[in-house]
Amino acid sequence: MILLWACALILVPASAVAQNLGVNWGTIASHPLDPKTVVNMLKDNGIKKVKLFDADSITLNSLAGTDIDVMVGIPNLHLQDLSVKYSSAQAWVRKYQCASLGNEPFLTSYNGTYTNSAFPAMKNILKALNEAGVGKDIKVSTPLNGDVYMTPTYKPLDVIFRGDIADLMGQICEFLQENDVPFIVNIYPFFNLYQNPGFPKEYAFFDNNNSSDFDDDGVKYHNVLHANIDTLVAALKTAKTPDLPIIVGEVGWPTDGNVYATKQNAQRFYNGLLQKMASNDRTPLRPKKNPDVYMFSLFDEDFKSIDPVMFERHWGILSFDGQPKFPMDLSGKGQNKSLVGGKDVPYLEKQWCVHKKDVSDQNNLAVKVEWACNNTDCTTIVPGASCSVMGLDVNASVAFNMF
């Protein structure tokens, strides 16, 4: 079953999947794996839900005929056209039959670029789906960042939708409820730690022995993910849609590019997340059902922008070649087992070039390293990253071998 997103998100009903677990599959890479290899790897690991960020035909064809449920996204850059041209929405539906609209279109960093187009685009796509006779089977939503709501006291029950989009969020929540569509939110505990120097590190994880509990008028939270989900639950109540289903569209932990972005921390985070899901440890305000959760992301993506942060290229639970980075038990039982990696991946001949220290012209070495890093992925040698203390000459070797 295939779900197309139009960066407002179009969902197709999914079959029951253990742990309600899925994964985001991004492809912003210099050497993306063959989609057939990726699909086989998803099946080998028992992953039956995947979220895509665009409607690449080769990727979609590789998923056709499998039992993998797919959310397919329409990128933000199409929202304006879809919002004002109904014919464009009709063309998308004729071509793809389903869509999810945008990805985090209301981020504050976008400065309102998509504020006026995301919701009209959602309504146009739904209208086109209804016209095609599939509107009841294919749903339209949009993945939103957790910054659409806020709580000045950090207490979930004090939440409000962000002032500049409060009325719009009320309309979107009503639209989702009327059409029986989940609210999709992207939540990143890593950013709480990265952006706030005083944030208690243990509260970002799940195995903190209650050492960093947060008390919201008698309701105790043992980790920031559950607190964030319940903050959204409280916001939905203020929007008069208290029972709206929730999907966590993205959650994960990067493995390089920052002092907190390590494989050890990522393994700890995922182990805790998966065990919480397997044990049905639910949030205080949603005690009956865990939300579906999509891990971010399947692979490292070395062509992603590093503006403003260097770790954006290293969110994968697998390296760029589809190999596991650390042990990970998707069953949530905490077993020391690895994911099944990509099979029959073609590699170039192994070689490593070393910077020659005795070359006479060393004056512009730093400039040359910077030039190479502007054209490749040098995340590992930035301050705080995994290879950040090796010195300029070794950095030169790394940079030009990556280049």
Closest C-alpha to 292, from 154, 174, 143, 149: 143
As a whole number of angstroms, the distance between CA 369 and CA 307 comes to 19
What would the two tokens of residue 313 be? Answer: 């290229």
- Catalytic residue, from 104, 131, 174, 301: name it: 104
Burial class (CB in 10 A: 0-12, 13-18, 19+), 213: middle
Q: Is residue 117 within a helix (H) or strand (E), and if so which, with residue range?
A: none
**DSSP state for residue 333 in the 8-state scheme:** S
Residue whose structure tokens are 């035909």: 57
Q: Are the CB atoms for 168 and 115 separated by under 8 Å? A: yes
Residue 139 backbone dihedrals phi, psi, to 5 degrees:
-105, 155
Nearest to 134 by CA among 103, 92, 76, 87: 92
What is the C-alpha separation between 269 and 207, in angstroms, rounded? 9
Catalytic site residue from 174, 178, 250, 301: 250
DSSP, collapsed to helix, strand or coil, labels residue 249 as: strand
Amino acid of residue 160: I
Based on the residue annotation, tell me whether 250 is a catalytic residue of this protein: yes
DSSP 367: H
What is the distance in angstroms between the CA of the first residue and the CA of the last residue of the chain?
Answer: 40
Is residue 67 exposed (0-12), middle (13-18) or buried (19+ Cβ within 10 Å)? exposed
Alpha-carbon distances of 224 from 87, 92, 202, 247, 293, rounded to whole Å: 43, 38, 9, 16, 15
> Which residues, other chains included, contact 276 with Cβ-Cβ below 8 Å and sequence gap of 6+?
206, 223, 332
Name beta bridge partners: 70.
Answer: 2, 50
What does the chain come to in residues?
Answer: 403
Rg (CA), the chain: 22
Q: Which helix (H) or strand (E) holds 63?
A: helix 57-63
Give the catalytic positions in this structure. 104, 250
